[in-house]
Chains A and B, each alone.
Chain A
């Protein structure tokens, strides 16, 4: 080949290479931009869906929703949640959820928290891939089965006797939560539960030990302790915490850890203070309006105590079980007052 022909041929190849590289780079840039855009768009769609769920949770109760989602990780903290890297505030909503949801399906459940008047709705979020195991002993079988029945049937739940706990098999769930209803809550639960789950990461296996009573009625208040898997045993998390009404016990079952649980409960106590103030004002004006016997039924002393205790719990929860037991007595007193108001044909308190 002549020298001139060789230069021409080489130049053509170099030209094709540069042009090809430019076209290639152009398309790669477009694809990358498009990918980023669609990720943000799908995060936005999920956020819109979750916002609607959070709004719905405030207006309807005792509802279970199964929501199909794009395959994306959703992280929950007490005050915010993340879709990928996009954060969004949970604000004043009381939400109990695991720290991370990986599944394509989300199960939401709402219940109302009444003390005895409706204060706020609790929203529980989980994934069918998360496994909840309720463990009972001879004295707590009835209450454990009651808790099992109260939880939505759509979640992966099971109830086992502590004697059979060694028979549990690993079902490849990415998170497992044990709800022990055995012994004293201060005791570390049996490590037999972990025999088949030993290979799971410590952060993915958690437990609570709850004192929910021994009858087939879940008691109104009680203490509970959170535990973390630590190798082949359990490690207790301090301090002990408490529940007020069964809805908050369910919150502890759904919550990732004690921090999320306590934080959500503090939000609930804040709202309790506000709602109680409204009922206090209302009863005070009705007490002034009525003569005997209705004025007695609208004596706002118990509502005033409720405001004080709610404000105290907002600062100090979880302080002592005694405080929550006192709040439970106040709830009973307000219920009785309301019942008497009905008997005397007075306006009801709530």
Chain B
């Protein structure tokens, strides 16, 4: 092969090399952007899951108030509240499908409690040993006492953990 041809070949290889280097740069850049958007999507999904669990908790038939089977929104029946903790802990596997890794509790905030009165009810507690994120949702609810037909104010706290 002549020297001129060898130079031509060298040029072609150099062009191809630069072409591939640019292509790889472009590809790496694109992948990084994709990774970033996937991260945002994962973040959004975690938030969506947390909102979903909070919604499920506040609409649970085991907790919700009803009048002649007509649901009362954002209302928790005090008499159901007393019974629900045992049910949820006895059937932890079933309720794990609904609440996953989370902690759900109800706290009475008004009227101010009398001495010895129960104001905290822990409904579900499944907190993993290690977690990467924790999202808390606090839902104001009314606590209905069907015997006195009175309502108190309370907070339904739903903390969702991601491993």
**Residues on B with beta carbons closer than 8 Å to the beta carbon of A59:** 55-56, 58-59
Q: Which residue on chain B has the smallest CB distance to residue A271?
A: B61
Q: Which residues of A are interface residues toward B (Cβ below 8 A)?
A: 4, 7-8, 11, 15, 19, 23, 26, 30, 37, 44, 48, 51-52, 55, 58-59, 89, 91-92, 114, 116-120, 270, 274-275, 277-278, 281-282, 285-286, 289-290, 338, 342, 347-348, 350
- In the bound complex, CA of A218 to CA of B61 (Å): 25
Q: B68–A281 contact, CB under 8 A?
A: no
- A278: chain B residues within 8 A (beta carbon): 62, 80, 83-84, 87
- Taken residue by residue from 74 to 107, chain B's Cβ proximity to chain A (1 for < 8 Å, 0 otherwise) reads as 0001011011100100010010011000000000
Which residues of B line the A interface, CB within 8 A? 1-2, 5, 9, 12, 16, 19-20, 23, 27, 34, 41, 45, 48-49, 52, 55-56, 58-59, 61-62, 64, 66-69, 71, 77, 79-80, 82-84, 87, 91, 94, 97-98, 146-147, 149
Verify B98–A91 contact, CB threshold 8 A: yes
A55-B91 contact given A15-B12, A117-B61, CB 8 Å threshold: no
Residue of A nearest to B60 (CB): A58
Which residues of chain A are within 8 angstroms of B58 by Cβ–Cβ distance?
A: 59
Q: How far is the CA of A348 from the CA of B72 in the complex (A)?
A: 14
**How far is B129's CA from A15's CA once the two chains are assembled, in angstroms?**
60
The reply to whether B2 and A8 contact each other, CB–CB distance below 8 Å, is: yes
Chain A residues whose CB sits within 8 angstroms of the CB of B34 once the complex forms = 37
Q: How far is the CB of B4 from chain A (nearest CB, A)?
A: 10
Taking A52-B52, A92-B97, A274-B94 as contacts, is the C-beta distance between A286 and B79 under 8 angstroms?
A: yes
Nearest residue (CB) in B for A114 is: B69
Q: State A120–B64 Cα separation when bound (angstroms).
A: 12
Please name all residues of chain B whose beta carbon is closer than 8 Å to the beta carbon of A23 when the two chains form the complex: 19
Query: What B residues does A91 contact at CB under 8 A?
Result: 97-98
Q: Are B147 and A286 in contact (CB under 8 A)?
A: yes
Contact B83 A282 (CB under 8 A): yes
- Taking CB atoms, residues of chain A closer than 8 Å to B147 are 286, 289-290, 347
| In contact, B48 and A48 (Cβ under 8 angstroms) | yes
Which of B52, B59, B66, B91 meets A274, CB within 8 Å? Answer: B91
Known: A91-B97, A275-B61, A285-B82. A4 touches B2 (CB 8 A): yes
A-B contact pairs, 28 of them (CB 8 A): A4-B2, A8-B1, A8-B2, A11-B1, A11-B9, A19-B12, A51-B48, A51-B49, A51-B52, A55-B55, A58-B59, A59-B59, A91-B98, A92-B94, A117-B69, A118-B61, A118-B64, A118-B66, A274-B62, A277-B83, A278-B62, A278-B84, A281-B79, A285-B82, A286-B147, A289-B147, A347-B147, A348-B66
Contacts A91-B97, A275-B62 known; A118 to B87 CB distance under 8 Å? no
* Interchain CA distance A118-B71 in the complex, whole Å: 9
Q: Complex Cα distance A275/B83, Å?
A: 10
Which chain B residue shows the least CB distance to A294? B147
Residues of chain A lying within 8 A (CB to CB) of residue B97? 89, 91-92
In contact, B1 and A282 (Cβ under 8 angstroms): no
Closest 8 CB pairs of A and B: A281-B83, A347-B146, A91-B97, A55-B52, A59-B59, A282-B79, A118-B61, A92-B97
Contact of A15 with B9 in the complex, beta carbons under 8 Å: yes
Q: A26-B23, A289-B147, A347-B149 are in contact. List 8 more A-B contacts (CB 8 A).
A: A44-B41, A52-B48, A55-B52, A117-B66, A270-B94, A274-B91, A274-B94, A282-B83
With both chains docked as a complex, state the minimum distance between the C-beta of A194 and any C-beta of chain B, in angstroms: 41
Q: For A348, list chain B residues within 8 Å (CB).
A: 66-68, 146
Complexed CA–CA distance, A208 and B93 (Å): 34
Which A residues touch B94, using CB under 8 A? 92, 270, 274
Task: Select one of A26, A92, A282 contacting B98, CB under 8 A.
Answer: A92
Do the beta carbons of B87 and A277 come within 8 Å of each other? yes
Q: Are B23's CB and A286's CB within 8 A?
A: no
Chain B residue with the shortest CB-CB distance to A91: B97
Shortest C-beta distance, B45 to chain A (Å), equals 6
- CB proximity of A35 to chain B, nearest CB, Å: 14
State A92–B91 Cα separation when bound (angstroms).
12
Residues of B within 8 A of A30 (CB): 27
CB of B100, distance to nearest CB on chain A (Å): 10
Chain A nearest CB: distance from B143 CB in Å?
14
Contact: A8 with B5, CB < 8 Å? yes
B residues less than 8 Å from A7 (CB atoms): 1
Q: CB-CB < 8 A to A277: which residues of B?
A: 83, 87
Q: Please give the distance in Å from A74's CB to the nearest CB on chain B.
A: 19
The distance in angstroms between the C-alpha atoms of A44 and B94, with both chains bound, is 25
Q: Which residues from chain A contact B84 at a C-beta distance below 8 Å?
A: 278
Please name all residues of chain A whose beta carbon is closer than 8 Å to the beta carbon of B79 when the two chains form the complex.
281-282, 285-286, 347
Across the interface, which residues of A come within 8 angstroms of B62, CB to CB? 274-275, 278
